[in-house]
Structure 1
């Protein structure tokens, strides 16, 4: 898929937002990617995830895993495209865990996926969890990398869309200084 095709899908589905947003990282931004808006359409989700799976097609991926919530559908569709198993992690007491009797075996080749990364914190936690269970992270695939490629997760990382979106510490946010209220469209509480 071309960058233009991807941007068209995100625009058409309302997944690219402008305003004053509080990000999961605690920073503020004037742009937000709400991938849930695009993932509600199976035809777009399938196309995007097939494109995301392509760079990893020859890596003998056993399992695709993504953090809940954003990574669940991405994990499922990328796993389907690769003929692999799909898992997801959940936060329990503030830490990423495998629940629901999910497991990763020693030596299992695992691709970590996510809908959006800004700092890469959740994905880094999933990579650490996979390694702690003896799994072998073979890469990371994301629909949108908001860092513009600046996040280093220590493994091959592929993104369908790389954008550099300005982020601000709350104390340095001009929108806060103007008294504009920030919204938090994401799902994880700080």
Structure 2
């Protein structure tokens, strides 16, 4: 079920930035119906009652540009032309491409495997000569995707930042010693597949990665 109520979107996605800056993004989440309620299996394995379909949110260029402008202003991103924005070839690339355009930097992406998880193979662009690498993700859930991208980024430079639209859980303040800077905290619960209240209630399970 798509949730189109801005108040519900605001309850489930808590801004980590100024409310005034977050307001147009909350409206965007509601108007696009990108926040879903049901029973979802995340790419990293856990189950959740809510899912943010970032591809629905940011596939339009003007929406991705709005998200990027808010991120640049709110998080103080001003890396310069010798920076590269790195992402995986999945929904997070909408965010990365828009960020690169806004800050005037280069862009690179890594290939994904059959499970849509990032590999450590640069498939597009290059990190050669990068003074700074900004790792851009849509939603950080366990940190596994961020970790794979960090390995690639750190092979190019020591100056690395991790930026996400949202993160699921306060335990994701950092990944491998690098702070995770995000616009929102997702407030919904992660369930282990072996102890999932939604499974026990008989709700049909939808693989989240198929929605992006």
State how far apart, in whole Å, the 2-side matches of 1:14 and 1:137 are: 36
1:46 to partner: Cα distance: 0.6
Aligned-pair Cα RMSD in Å? 2.2
The residue number in structure 2 matching 1:157 is 180
C-alpha contact (below 8 Å) 2:134/2:160 kept by paired residues: yes
**One of 18, 24, 35 as aligned partner of 2:54:** 35
Tell whether 2:26 aligns with 1:2. Answer: no
Larger proportion of helix: 2
SS in 2 for 1:99: strand
Report SS of the residue matched to 1:136.
coil
Specify the alignment match of 1:11 in structure 2: 30
Name 2:102's counterpart in structure 1: 81
1:1-190 equivalent positions in 2, closer than 5 A: 2-54=21-73, 55-60=75-80, 62-92=83-113, 95-100=119-124, 102-105=125-128, 108-132=131-155, 134-148=156-170, 150-153=172-175, 154-187=177-210
Distance 2:78 2:96 in 1: 17
1:52–1:158 Cα contact (<8 Å) kept: no
Q: 1:99 to 1:75 in 2, by over 3 A?
A: same
Cα pair distance change 1:114/1:156, threshold 3 Å: same
TM-score, normalised with respect to structure 1: 0.87
* Gap runs ≥5 in structure 2: 1-19
Q: Report the Cα offset of residue 148 of structure 1.
A: 3.9
The total of aligned residue pairs comes to: 186
Q: 1:107 to 1:81 in 2, by over 3 A?
A: closer
Tell me if the contact between 1:67 and 1:123 (Cα under 8 Å) persists in the aligned partners.
Answer: no
For 1:175 and 1:164, the matched residues in 2 are separated by: 16
